[in-house]
Structure 1
Amino acid sequence: MKKFLIVLSVLSGMAFTSCIDKDLGPLRNNFEEVEEIVYDYAATADSMQSSTYSLYIAADGSFNFNPGGSFGGYWPNAHALHVYVDAYTRTGNGIYLDRMKKLLNGIKSNNGGTFTNVFNDDMLWLGNSCVRAYEATGDEEYLDVAEFLWHDILESYSEVFGGGITWKKDTPNLKNAVSNGPTIVLATRLYHVTNDDYYLDWAKDLYVWQKENLVDPETGLVWDNIELIEGVPTVKKDWIFTYNAGTWIGSGLRLFQITGENGYLLDAIKTAKSSMTRSEISTEGVLNNEGQGDGGLFKGVFVRYFTELIQEPSLNETDRKAMIDFMKFNADTFYKSGLKRPEMLSGPNWREMPTGQTDLTTQLSGMMLIEAAALLQEEGIFE
């Protein structure tokens, strides 16, 4: 009689199988009991933080776009600050305080000695990460930068299309979800730390504008932009990306938490549910591969705000369980199939090991996923 013996083992977080085909005599069981993988997301996050720092860091404290390459760009480095804040709030390790400040200064020096940028979305990403850094550290410099960026961005508000922020300072007839959703989130963050209704009023105004112009009323998914083409307002409805859904979820959730108005929460839930089930955002339970380059960072932004929604106490348990299962499936899939060891590198497809070069954007998305998983595991939300 022949037997196939399947043994599952875990070594440095990697699972592998081996098959042995030989005569073994009388059998009591056809298969040896398989040990379940135990996920330690905090340890994995620490390893990814360490590896990313070693591979991508530049002499001025900013991150290169590729190991040994040149400056990784304004907005990827803004998200790197987010990831530092994740690590610092999770561990309390003071090493991240120095790294955060060097990164902030590195972004400025690589941007011509100023935080002003023609891309409003670039400044928005940094403004949001700076408010988080201020909340985590109490360092007023971060808040000063965020408030400076806020006022710079508002110069691009206009009544073209009835309101909204332009994508860039020089595109008066083009307004994107990526320059409005993060503005709403930034406004709510600044309201939270200043208690100034000025910011809340802006958040509400921009929320109404984006919902009327860039959000599908049926699905809650977010269209990329509205542009004046030959005098006709045209919405780019076939461009639907994870990060726009993420910031819309964050916008509705935060306005609900501030105002208590349930409609905001229902909007966030609608977008979250569609993101879990519709092919524009995910496939068979895993967030879509949106490539490297800019697209490499999109999923990480989604994960950040989707995680905040999972943590919201007002969610009903059915919705919460579905969202937890979705997040855990993404994290577990990436942990088992998409994280290249020992380099601890992420690819754009969380179902597959990365091959070739990994862009900073793509690496940061993987780090955001693992940091979110570590947070949810620490809070007992991931069992």
Structure 2
Amino acid sequence: MPTSNAFEEQARARAAAAAASVSGAFGGRLFGLPGTHLAHVSLPRRTGAPWHYWWQAHYLDCLLDAAERESANSSEHDDGACHRTHARRLLRTIRLRNGGRWRNSYYDDMAWLALAALRAADIAGTRPLSALNPVLASAHTPDLGGGLFWNTSRDFKNTPATAPAALYFARLGRREEAARLVDWLFARLQDPETGLLRDGIRTPGERLVTDLYTYNQGPVLGVLLALGGEQNLQRAGNLIDAVATHLVQPSGALRTHGGGDGGLFTGILARYLALAAVSPALPEASRTTAGTLITTTADALWEGRTEREVGSRRRTVVVFPSTPGVPAGIGTVELSTQLQSWMVLEAACRVPAVRPANAPGDG
């Protein structure tokens, strides 16, 4: 049976392959401008593609994951420097592509970018996006008892905006505000049957949107761990169990949500399951469950990979499936689904080796 070190080396090699493939196939200059970096939203690349602000925020997080991984495992030189350079350029270019401003119409988008930029300040030496602090705070109102509005239309309060904003506030040290948001989520949006967080509440009429998405559970788990305390840690353990019961395929891999925005969802959950898998504040059973969900999903995504030649130089890159256990198809590949696999594979590097005796190899 392979050793834990062998599994760790395998996990790092897979994550490195994902980082090189996604950055190489999708990353590039904005309008050919030197010093810029942005991810194209599809492969083959096409002009006139829509602007996906929050996809770029998760690309930034992935670059930071890769920088941390490579720096931690470099004995003589810092292999994470290239990823940090791309991260710094990406953050500047997001603002440039967004019309020279950080704001957009969606509070969840801005919360994700604020979270990634806060990490970038620690890892890549950039500045936190303090300009977004009052914008996010303005979306937290007494309407519907609390929570954040989803966008500037202010007719929908939901988990996608409230959870990442709560985590951002917790990491800024604004713990009371974060705690109020968490309590609102569990009071208004927890599904009594599954224990998962539902999507949101629309106005007028307080119409409950009952959809259960993987990504909504991720930042909720993250903020519960950040706040700590007996109640929040109990909630975290229960949420991990709920995910393992209700958001998995028969194989044990996490469920995914197709392409488009949904192509990011399960990668986001994996990012925060990785925090749970190594949290000393959680019981061993919860840590093991979180780690197993990640490694099982990582194995399935890796097994479904294909290779493709891209660009004028016919560079070979790895393309990952949108669904674990299903081979990657041909045709257009979306950035979101590739970031999802990259997130899962980076998450697998951060958890202890939790593998059955018949764990698949690199094939």
Q: Find the partner of 2:253 among 286, 307, 317.
A: 286
Hey, what's the Cα distance between the residues in 1 that align with 2:275 and 2:296? 17
Q: How far apart are residue 381 of structure 1 and its match?
A: 6.0
Letter in 2 for 1:105: R
Higher relative contact order (CA closer than 8 Å, sequence separation 6+): 2
Is 1:250–2:235 an aligned residue pair?
A: no
CA contact (8 A) 1:298 1:365 kept: yes
- Structure 1, 178-187 or 65-74: larger mean CA deviation: 65-74
Q: How far apart are residue 325 of structure 1 and its match?
A: 2.3
Q: Find the partner of 2:207 among 234, 241, 264.
A: 234
Letter in 2 for 1:102: R
Letter in 2 for 1:340: T
Hey, what's the Cα distance between the residues in 2 that align with 1:353 and 1:159? 47
Q: Find the partner of 2:234 among 266, 269, 273.
A: 266
Q: Find the partner of 1:359 among 334, 348, 355.
A: 334
- Structure 1, 98-107 or 209-218: larger mean CA deviation: 209-218
1:1-383 alignment runs, 5 A limit: 40-60=10-30, 61-67=37-43, 68-69=45-46, 70=49, 73-92=52-71, 93-137=80-124, 139=125, 141-143=126-128, 145=129, 147-170=130-153, 172-191=154-173, 199-229=174-204, 232-237=205-210, 239-256=211-228, 261-278=229-246, 281-284=247-250, 285-336=252-303, 338-341=304-307, 343-355=317-329, 356-376=331-351
Q: How far apart are residue 206 of structure 1 and its match?
A: 1.0
Larger Rg: 1
Unpaired runs of at least 5, structure 2: 1-5, 31-36, 72-79, 308-315, 357-363
Hey, what's the Cα distance between the residues in 2 that align with 1:249 and 1:217? 17
1:78-108 deviation line (CA, Å, top 9, x unaligned): 0001001101111122112210111011111
Hey, what's the Cα distance between the residues in 1 that align with 2:300 and 2:257? 17
Closer, same or farther in 2 for the Cα pair 1:187/1:381, shift >3 Å?
farther
Q: How far apart are residue 321 of structure 1 and its match?
A: 2.5
Aligned-partner SS, 1:343: strand
Hey, what's the Cα distance between the residues in 2 that align with 1:347 and 1:123? 28
Q: How far apart are residue 326 of structure 1 and its match?
A: 2.4
- TM-score where L is the length of structure 2: 0.84
Q: How far apart are residue 348 of structure 1 and its match?
A: 1.2
Moved over 3 A (4+): 36-39, 380-383
CA contact (8 A) 2:274 2:350 kept: no
Aligned-partner SS, 1:283: coil
CA contact (8 A) 1:219 1:271 kept: no
CA contact (8 A) 1:160 1:173 kept: no
CA contact (8 A) 1:72 1:360 kept: no
Q: How far apart are residue 296 of structure 1 and its match?
A: 0.1
Q: CA RMSD in A?
A: 2.0
Letter in 2 for 1:263: Q
Percent sequence identity is 26
Aligned-partner SS, 1:45: helix
1:143-187 deviation line (CA, Å, top 9, x unaligned): 1x1x211211112222210122100012x2310110100011101
Aligned-partner SS, 1:344: strand
Hey, what's the Cα distance between the residues in 1 that align with 2:18 and 2:230? 38
Aligned-partner SS, 2:350: helix
Q: How far apart are residue 218 of structure 1 and its match?
A: 4.6
Hey, what's the Cα distance between the residues in 1 that align with 2:225 and 2:135? 25
Aligned-partner SS, 2:317: coil
Aligned-partner SS, 1:142: coil
Unpaired runs of at least 5, structure 1: 1-35, 192-198
Q: How far apart are residue 322 of structure 1 and its match?
A: 2.7
Q: How far apart are residue 37 of structure 1 and its match?
A: 9.1
Query: Which residue pairs with 1:23 in the alignment?
Result: none
Hey, what's the Cα distance between the residues in 2 that align with 1:213 and 1:53? 39
CA contact (8 A) 2:288 2:354 kept: no
Letter in 2 for 1:169: T
How many pairs were matched up?
324
Aligned-partner SS, 2:333: coil
Letter in 2 for 1:246: G
Hey, what's the Cα distance between the residues in 1 that align with 2:349 and 2:68? 11
Aligned-partner SS, 1:235: strand
Letter in 1 for 2:259: Q
Q: How far apart are residue 125 of structure 1 and its match?
A: 0.6
Aligned-partner SS, 1:175: strand
Hey, what's the Cα distance between the residues in 2 that align with 1:206 and 1:289? 26
1:313-346 deviation line (CA, Å, top 9, x unaligned): 122223322332222211222222x222352112
Letter in 2 for 1:112: G
Q: How far apart are residue 72 of structure 1 and its match?
A: 5.3
Q: How far apart are residue 365 of structure 1 and its match?
A: 0.4
Hey, what's the Cα distance between the residues in 1 that align with 2:288 and 2:92? 41
Letter in 1 for 2:133: W
